[in-house]
Amino acid sequence: MYRTHTCGELRLEQKGQTVTLAGWVQKARKMGAMSFIDLRDRYGITQLRVDETCPEEVSKIAAGLGREYVLQATGVVEERQSKNARIPTGDIEIRLTGLKILNAAQTPPFTIEDESDGGEELRAKYRYLDLRRNPLKNALMLRHRMAHEVRNYLDDKGFLEIETPFLIKSTPEGARDFVVPSRMNPGEFYALPQSPQTFKQLLMVAGYDRYFQIVRCFRDEDLRADRQPEFTQIDCEMSFVEQEDVLNLFEGMMRHLFKSVINVDIPEKLTRMSWYDAMDNYGSDKPDIRFGMKIHEITSLVQGKGFSVFDSVEYVGAISVPGAAQYTRKQIDELTEWVKRPQVGAKGLVSIRVGADGIKSSVDKFYTSEDLAAVVEAVEAKTGDLVLVLCGAKRKAQTMLGVLRLEMGNRLGLRDPHVYAPLWVVDFPLLEWDDETQRFYAMHHPFTAPKPEHLELFYSDKKEDLERVCANAYDFVLNGTELGGGSIRIHEADVQSRMFEVLGISKEDADYKFGFIINAFKFGAPPHGGLAFGFDRVCALFGGQETIRDYIAFPKNNVGRDVMLDAPSRIDDVQMDELYLRSTAPVK
């Protein structure tokens, strides 16, 4: 037997017992005739003591230990002289009677401490050493707990966990597919699933009624901040449901997760905010509702007064920043530069100070004090506030105001990661027009159903009509982040065909790529709907972290590489030949 106890387990109650532990050397230090070894495993740290009462062999081995050596240590549990209240085993130590090196270790390239001295790249290369550190261990433990509680909740609600294939057919619509060449089918490729979307719908056609899966998904996207090419979803689908059934069940799941994983209570019934209200009031389809500072449209109040910048645009909007009237000229100039950065994209910024001594703006020469007072009233600014105004095409200007609002929320400390403000955003438009390609794209995905009351509009030939079609689509949003989303699906073959037509996918192309699902809908598909949560992100947010990387045991870096494996990599010519492949990439 390698051990009788773990390194996190022993207390004063076991005083006098002879025990055997196994683990890694966190630290070994000599103090006069005695030496101490901190032995670490997944469960904690236990102090080992070597003194003159120990066998000579033990002292000899103890003198030659290095960090991260793997040991088996036997000894007697004793009360410590100087206790360590910071660790649960801090009242005891083990006076050694036997010590064995199970494996020596090279000195690790960085310290295995909560705050490591290793840079990101180095720690990624030695991920298995980084994973020995507490912050990562705690992250993976939280992830495990979360998965377990998801299964508990959904099992309790009658969901079946069913696996779906990873080698499927390429149907790029949203992101790019990762593809896998087939040796047995020369010249043909599988794709890795971007999500199990069509399979879960087929499971509904097959009558499985309530499905879920904690499943890996693959998307070959340019990795914007904090995305991973492979990530995990809690993927779910239900039959014979309407939108409210889905929302109620899954806000129940989130409530259960909040309570069971981090002991946080969220409201009994979450806000349902329409996409239009979210855009108009928060300039975002994932509003952070931990704070107010809502966006107000002031177009009609500021046009026609001779200020050509405002006169020439579709929309003028403003936010009122509480208590920021004392911003100096310099601070406002800095903020103006900030909104002009490409990430925000504004041309300029107009500000109105609501001071105790009156209202002053950067555009005083165009507006009377009554004009400005009307704006101040419209945006609900109070004395001491600073009103910030941006303009442009409606949705673009709102989005810029939304970004500015978040920035001001950050600057004012209104975005505490330990305050949780979840909500549903609902009633998304079904379609999104893209000027560049001159076609519609599905805002969620091509299987999302138009609202029944918009079905007639959906069959219209006019672009304006199609732009007005709404979907029973919904996103679960937490603190300005989309954690999940889904929709009620199309379940009729002719509506699905119409959808492909609207998306500019020819009948032949639709049949080639999606014939299986259009066909399945001809064999008695039940009304159904579902959603998927980004599992990595749920874990990160519950852990109070912004990045998902620490919640994935072996993540990729920001150019999609696994620096530990050094993947992706070239394959040899034999393998290439077997797969009927030729590379046109330049040789590195």
Q: Which residues bind ligand ASP (CB under 6 A)?
A: 195, 197, 485-487, 530-532
Smallest separation, CB 530 to ligand ASP (Å): 5
Smallest separation, CB 153 to ligand ASP (Å): 17
Residue 523, both tokens: 């064999």
Are 98 and 60 in contact by the 8 Å Cβ rule? The answer is no
Token match 């236990």: residue?
Answer: 46
Partners of 99 in the β-ladder: 73
Smallest separation, CB 211 to ligand ASP (Å): 11
Per-residue H/E/C for 292-316? CCCCEECHHHHCCCCCHHHHCCCEE
Measured from the CB atom, is 460 or 481 closer to ligand ASP? 481
**Phi and psi for 280 in degrees, rounded to 5?**
-65, -40
Smallest separation, CB 217 to ligand ASP (Å): 7
Residue 545, both tokens: 């972290």
Measured from the CB atom, is 69 or 212 closer to ligand ASP? 212
Amino acid symbol at 359: I
Smallest separation, CB 18 to ligand ASP (Å): 55
Measured from the CB atom, is 298 or 473 closer to ligand ASP? 473
Pairing of the two strands 315-321 and 439-442: unpaired
Measured from the CB atom, is 195 or 399 closer to ligand ASP? 195
Smallest separation, CB 371 to ligand ASP (Å): 46
Cα Rg of the chain, angstroms: 30
DSSP annotation of 532: E
Measured from the CB atom, is 211 or 291 closer to ligand ASP? 211
C-alpha closest to that of 23 among 65, 51, 84, 54: 65
Measured from the CB atom, is 409 or 485 closer to ligand ASP? 485
**Phi and psi for 584 in degrees, rounded to 5?**
-105, 5
Smallest separation, CB 249 to ligand ASP (Å): 13
C-alpha closest to that of 300 among 280, 315, 319: 315
Terminal-to-terminal C-alpha distance of the chain? 51
Measured from the CB atom, is 281 or 472 closer to ligand ASP? 472
Q: Rounded to whole angstroms, how far apart are CA atoms 322 and 472? A: 36
Q: Rounded to whole angstroms, how far apart are CA atoms 459 and 464? A: 12
Smallest separation, CB 225 to ligand ASP (Å): 19
Smallest separation, CB 513 to ligand ASP (Å): 16
Three-state secondary-structure class, residue 13: helix
Measured from the CB atom, is 190 or 533 closer to ligand ASP? 533
Q: Rounded to whole angstroms, how far apart are CA atoms 249 and 270? A: 12
Q: How many Cβ atoms sit within 10 Å of the Cβ of residue 8?
A: 16
Residue nearest to ligand ASP (CB): 195
Q: How many residues does the chain have?
A: 588
Measured from the CB atom, is 24 or 250 closer to ligand ASP? 250
Amino acid symbol at 584: T
